[in-house]
Amino acid sequence: MAVVRAAPSDTCIGFLRSHPALAPKALADPSLTAESRSEQGGLGMTSLGDQLARFEAGSSDYESRFGFPFIVCVRRLTPPFVLRGLERRLANTPEQERIAALAEIGHITRLRLVDRVSGPGIPPTTGHLSAHVLDTARGKAAEGVRIEVFREGVLIKEAVTNHDGRSDEPLLADGPLRIGRYELRFHIEEYYANWPNVTDPPWYDVIPIRFGVAEPEGHYHIPLLLGAWTYTTYRGS
Amino acid sequence: MAVVRAAPSDTCIGFLRSHPALAPKALADPSLTAESRSEQGGLGMTSLGDQLARFEAGSSDYESRFGFPFIVCVRRLTPPFVLRGLERRLANTPEQERIAALAEIGHITRLRLVDRVSGPGIPPTTGHLSAHVLDTARGKAAEGVRIEVFREGVLIKEAVTNHDGRSDEPLLADGPLRIGRYELRFHIEEYYANWPNVTDPPWYDVIPIRFGVAEPEGHYHIPLLLGAWTYTTYRGS
Amino acid sequence: MAVVRAAPSDTCIGFLRSHPALAPKALADPSLTAESRSEQGGLGMTSLGDQLARFEAGSSDYESRFGFPFIVCVRRLTPPFVLRGLERRLANTPEQERIAALAEIGHITRLRLVDRVSGPGIPPTTGHLSAHVLDTARGKAAEGVRIEVFREGVLIKEAVTNHDGRSDEPLLADGPLRIGRYELRFHIEEYYANWPNVTDPPWYDVIPIRFGVAEPEGHYHIPLLLGAWTYTTYRGS
Amino acid sequence: MAVVRAAPSDTCIGFLRSHPALAPKALADPSLTAESRSEQGGLGMTSLGDQLARFEAGSSDYESRFGFPFIVCVRRLTPPFVLRGLERRLANTPEQERIAALAEIGHITRLRLVDRVSGPGIPPTTGHLSAHVLDTARGKAAEGVRIEVFREGVLIKEAVTNHDGRSDEPLLADGPLRIGRYELRFHIEEYYANWPNVTDPPWYDVIPIRFGVAEPEGHYHIPLLLGAWTYTTYRGS
């Protein structure tokens, strides 16, 4: 990155120009590398629906304005935040944007390198999402609570709490957490079924907790302190 | 009700037989009274979707088994709980069910009477739903938070908190609260926008709180204690 | 107050000089008015213990420095905060301090007037302290919880929660709340005794909540959300 | 223990009779072993104050009733709970009490053995007390909070939270936690001093959390979720 940043402006721009445009346009390009194809195919920009046209228009504006395609490390963002980033970066000066685009290439390259090498000195590229359910009406961990993980409205993971009130594995820990909006749904219908004086319907059945992930390499821990008629959540550590 | 309950069994059954069947079948019956039409039209049994066939089949079974149509005070239940009630009552003995059906006629009649009269001695037929948002990071009520009220997935009300952190009017207070599952969504995106160190996306933007209403005439109060990185809710009083 | 503030500086200082010094010195002065005697006797400066000498020394310094005795509306402060105020005000300029001392006379006079008159237009001079105990393990108000109110370590009030989880009367509402440190102790030993699986000793028996009162005319509400193995408190509204 | 329990009743009683009586009487007995002297000297029965006479009277009753001295593993109880245990065990039948007294000798012996040996198979004799302070107004651990640990009103430990909001070492982990009432005092005066809009006095300065320890070998974790105007605690895991 130091070499790239120190290169003459023309060299940098040439480097940026050689980068493929973002999906879905790019997927039609036969010269796309396998890695780009995989990264961009997994991006799911088509999930933008009505906003896809906005993204396509913004991409064109961007390329006209800066002379190189819009580059972003798609493994670190959900599609709505790719779009938001595009629209913000359109307001940059060419100089600011050259730095921003090079930083994204840095992120992309770092992730590709980390996929191939191992050993000490690996930079942090993995985020971490976990949850913990404590039963504060009984003073112990809540076992057997099913947790669904949604990201931008899409179910991406399920787990069940063990005797320690946690999932056996982290909910997410296999790469950057994509910047975006997440929701955990804690299914306590069955957990509650054994309680005294449960009403019908029960006071709580599914507890949804929504939160935003802003740091792809961050640690996010979501405790649920579950009483019979109350709950508390917070950003844990 | 005392007179009805004390009547001979045959008289009771005749009385129950003269009651119209439940919507949607009933809506096709030209002899339906205006009140029944209004109550049942508002019930929204068609919202049951795939389960509507289950309801129709259960209604037929019911009528075959007990000799009178399935009667329920539809202003006190959401459609999924009308269906659940039907399926439970199918397991009753004829004697138990005659008592249950008469009790429902009691609820229906009480509500119709209460609509027409006023003055002291009115029985309690109205439930009450309210919310309160306190900002525990600043030690004061949270003003300007928009609250959406969903019942069985349908948006039925919106309100905005005033300087006391409450809605000017109760969220719901115009009749029985229909037994069912409710969700309040507290929109705090704008409330948060002025905070220091807000991330993008913010840690919280919309806080959904789901709960079940089991007593149509009950008081339900949903406080939200909102800190910057935590929240607590409970059944208030 | 407008007349006093607009008076020439010499007149003001003469006015301030005619004010009695603070207890305990003042209590020895036979010319002290009955009101001053009552207010200052109730102040309890002797409770300062070891710090009383610091107060006496500060008072002397004050009188030497400003030419009039240290004046403070003792009904609005606990003794440690009278002392803290004295030490802070010693750093004032004569002009700042003349204004500060006149403001205190304003507070004193206002309280004396409010004691004697009634009707519309009465200025707010009364603070308000209340508490509320909710049992979030059972979803209802906690009745029969004894609450002790301590102010600067001295028990000044006791109450028991009613069926609504509140005391029948506000805990304190008979004048300004003295600026200082308060503690509520919620005695839940007996309330817990009926619970399932209570340990010996119980997990909680007395729940102390300490807080500071900074606004004598403010409303302070202390909710206790009591679960079996958790509790939450906050500044309520 | 199996051998002891299986021994004839007379042998057991002889064994129990040879056990020293509890302090403070025992401390005057020159035949007391060094271990008993140390355990009982550390017990602090003299802290019972006015209740010491009750303990002495109960001990005499006990010895008259059962024919052997009152034996209890004093490392597992605070003095008030030694007294409470004595008064409860007085209601036992001789047979129940012989079993109870032997169990106490088992506890005493186990602790003495564990002090002398090491390696796999060591039975659990150590309890564990820890705390955690999270700042839910800023979404991170609270560093620099001083914690005092009181047991039955006596300060027995102090610690300061590190950057992870915990003490570097467990608060207590060097043997059984004595059954009794504990209080943690979290000193947040300085932690708060940097906050915006701190009042004088601050809303919170010292947060006391009282709780009872009923299992000497248990793990007790006391989280404090600290907002600016709220806090929550619970039995953690």
> D223 φ, ψ to 5°?
-80, 145
Q: Do C212 and D206 touch (CB under 8 A)?
A: no
Cα(D233)–Cα(D62) distance, integer angstroms: 41
* Beta strand pairing call for D154-160 and D146-151: antiparallel
Q: Do C134 and B237 touch (CB under 8 A)?
A: yes
Assigned token pair, A161 = 């709490």
Assess contact for D119 and D212: CB atoms under 8 A. no
Q: Do B203 and D139 touch (CB under 8 A)?
A: yes
Instruction: Out of D204, D210, D214, name the one closest to residue C211 (CB).
Output: D204
> D128 φ, ψ to 5°?
-150, 125
Cα(C204)–Cα(C229) distance, integer angstroms: 8
Assess contact for D169 and D183: CB atoms under 8 A. no
Cα(A37)–Cα(A74) distance, integer angstroms: 11
Assigned token pair, D110 = 């186990």
3-state SS class at B76: helix
Assess whether pLDDT exceeds 80 at residue B32: no
Alpha carbon of A199: minimum distance to chain B alpha carbons (Å): 6
Residue C221 sits at the vertex; the CA angle it makes with C215 and C224, to the nearest 5 degrees, is 140
> How distant is the alpha carbon of residue A173 from its chain centre?
11
Q: Digits of tens for pLDDT over chain D (237 positions)?
A: 889 889 998 999 999 998 887 766 666 677 777 777 777 666 677 778 888 899 999 999 999 999 999 999 999 999 999 999 999 999 999 999 999 999 999 999 999 999 999 889 888 999 999 999 999 999 999 999 999 999 999 999 999 999 999 999 999 999 999 999 999 999 999 998 877 778 999 999 999 999 999 999 999 999 999 999 999 999 998
Which residues from D are below 8 Å from A when comparing CB atoms? 134, 136, 139-141, 164-165, 225, 232, 234-237
The residue of chain C nearest to residue D208, with distances taken between CA atoms, is C208
Percent of chain C with pLDDT over 70: 95
Residue D229's closest CA among B226, A29, A231, B8? B226
Instruction: Out of A199, A202, A230, name the one closest to residue B234 (CB).
Output: A230
Cα(C93)–Cα(D163) distance, integer angstroms: 43
Instruction: Out of D139, D141, D235, name the one closest to residue A139 (CB).
Output: D235
Residue C193 sits at the vertex; the CA angle it makes with C188 and C197, to the nearest 5 degrees, is 115
Instruction: Out of A136, A140, A237, name the one closest to residue D164 (CB).
Output: A237
What's the one-letter identity of residue A70?
A: F
The residue of chain B nearest to residue C232, with distances taken between CA atoms, is B232
3-state SS class at B205: coil
pLDDT digits (tens, 9 = 90+) for A33-43: 777 777 766 66
> B207 φ, ψ to 5°?
-105, 110
Residues in Cβ contact with A7 at an 8 Å cutoff, skipping those fewer than 6 apart: A15
pLDDT digits (tens, 9 = 90+) for C64-122: 999 999 999 999 999 999 999 999 999 999 999 999 999 999 999 999 999 999 889 88
Element (H, E) at C128: strand C128-135
* Beta strand pairing call for C128-135 and C219-226: parallel
Contacts A234 to D, Cβ<8 Å = 134, 136, 225
Cα(B127)–Cα(B124) distance, integer angstroms: 8
> D82 φ, ψ to 5°?
-65, -45
Mean pLDDT, chain B, as a whole number?
91
The residue of chain C nearest to residue B235, with distances taken between CA atoms, is C139
3-state SS class at C157: strand
* Beta strand pairing call for A128-135 and A140-141: antiparallel
> How distant is the alpha carbon of residue A63 from its chain centre?
26
Assigned token pair, D67 = 């024919």
User: Taking the model in full, what pTM does it have?
Assistant: 0.92
DSSP string, A145-157: -EEEEEETTEEEE
Cα(A230)–Cα(C226) distance, integer angstroms: 10
Contacts C136 to A, Cβ<8 Å = 227-230
| Beta strand segments in B88-205, E | 128-135, 140-141, 146-151, 154-160, 180-187
3-state SS class at D221: strand
pLDDT digits (tens, 9 = 90+) for A168-186: 999 999 999 999 999 999 9
Assess contact for C218 and C182: CB atoms under 8 A. no
pLDDT digits (tens, 9 = 90+) for A114-158: 999 988 988 899 999 999 999 999 999 999 999 999 999 999 999
Assess contact for A76 and A107: CB atoms under 8 A. yes
pLDDT digits (tens, 9 = 90+) for D21-39: 776 666 667 777 777 777 7
Which residues from D are below 8 Å from B when comparing CB atoms? 136-139, 197, 203, 225, 227-230, 232
Assess contact for D21 and D28: CB atoms under 8 A. no
Cα(C109)–Cα(D56) distance, integer angstroms: 61
The residue of chain C nearest to residue D205, with distances taken between CA atoms, is C211
Which residues from A are below 8 Å from D when comparing CB atoms? 134, 136, 139-141, 164-165, 225, 232, 234-237
Neighbour subunits, B (≥3 Cβ pairs < 8 A): A, C, D
Specify which residues B208 forms β-bridges with.
Answer: B185
Contacts B226 to D, Cβ<8 Å = none
Assigned token pair, B179 = 């037994």
Q: Do C204 and D211 touch (CB under 8 A)?
A: yes
What's the one-letter identity of residue C198?
A: V
Cα(A211)–Cα(A224) distance, integer angstroms: 13
Residues in Cβ contact with B229 at an 8 Å cutoff, skipping those fewer than 6 apart: A234, A235, B203, D136, D137, D138, D139
Contacts A133 to D, Cβ<8 Å = none
Neighbours of C198 (CB within 10 A): 15
Specify which residues A128 forms β-bridges with.
Answer: A219
* CB–CB contacts below 8 A, B to D: 37
Assess contact for A212 and B203: CB atoms under 8 A. yes
B169: left (phi over 0), alpha (psi -120 to 50) or beta: beta
